[in-house]
Amino acid sequence: MKKVIFEIAENSPLAAGVYRMRLAGDTSAVTAPGQFVNIALPGHYLRRPISVCDGEPGALTLVYKVVGHGTEAMAAMGPGERLDVLTGLGNGFDTALAGDRPLLLGGGIGTAPLYWLARVLRAEGKRVSAVLGFNTGDDVFYEDEFRALGCDVTVATADGSYGVPGFVTDALRPGYSFYYACGPEPMLRAVCEKASGDGQLSFEARMGCGFGACVGCTRETVNGPKRVCRDGPVFRKGEIVWTR
């Protein structure tokens, strides 16, 4: 974890209610795809946890959805403005588990952190498939970006307005070595039930601090209570206990 002042280099709409923010600053604490940052926003007491969509030395890309007052304020910010950010939070995905044909499963804004993961896996020479699920065709983002990395991309929409009609679980095809999933909890649960084989899943949670102090985001696992922010947000399939 490192507290860093970033400068906004870009903040622009990407899809319905979805924005891409590029930040310039010290990224030395950001070490793995699947990690997140926690952003202080003027006028809002708690920080906003946002997954890292892509990272390289000196630059971070965040893709976020406007879901409330905080992300609304984020969307209104412009290039040159500064943000106080806690960086390098969470454990991230373990690419050593991927095997030679990993499958990425993204649900809505949960697609964002899979982009960096895809880039790392492609750089490691893996054959990467991605199934990206959205509510409607207007919500789709990064389909071309995943394709440009050399991924085999399938898009599914719940209303059938674009790509395969249905959820990511309706577009699953066998033949993958390991899966990585990120999205809303009902989607992750459906993935766990319907996708064969082992995988890692990244969870969302309402967080107080984002670095393990308040235990506000705890969920039960087979290994006891775990903090989504500190022990996660990525958990192995076999660890997860579904409580709701």
- Measured from the CB of residue 157, what is the shortest distance to another protein in angstroms? 22
Quick one: which segment of 45-53, 104-112, 114-122, 146-154 binds another protein (CB under 8 A)?
Answer: 45-53
Cα(149)–Cα(124) distance, rounded to whole angstroms?
12
What is the x/- site pattern for another protein, positions 56-85, by CB under 8 A? --------------x---------------
Half-sphere exposure of 28 (CA within 13 A, CB side): 5
Q: Exactly one of 17, 208, 237, 239 binds another protein (CB under 8 A); which one?
A: 208
- Measured from the CB of residue 232, what is the shortest distance to another protein in angstroms? 13
Handedness of CA 158, 161, 162, 163 (dihedral sign): positive
**Residue 218 binding another protein, by CB under 8 A:** yes
Instruction: Report phi then psi at 139, rounded to 5.
Output: -90, -10
**Residue 44 binding another protein, by CB under 8 A:** yes
Q: Exactly one of 77, 205, 236, 239 binds another protein (CB under 8 A); which one?
A: 205
Nearer to another protein by Cβ, of 119 and 226: the residue is: 226
- Measured from the CB of residue 169, what is the shortest distance to another protein in angstroms? 23
**Residue 230 binding another protein, by CB under 8 A:** yes
**Residue 212 binding another protein, by CB under 8 A:** yes
Cα(191)–Cα(170) distance, rounded to whole angstroms?
10
Tokens encoding 14: 């990407």
Residue 56 CA from chain centroid, whole number: 16
Asked, as a colleague might, if the bond just before 225 is cis with ω within 30 of 0, I would say: no
Number of H helices, E strands in the chain: 4, 16
Footprint of another protein (CB under 8 A): 1, 3, 40, 44-47, 70, 86, 205-209, 211-220, 225, 230, 243-244
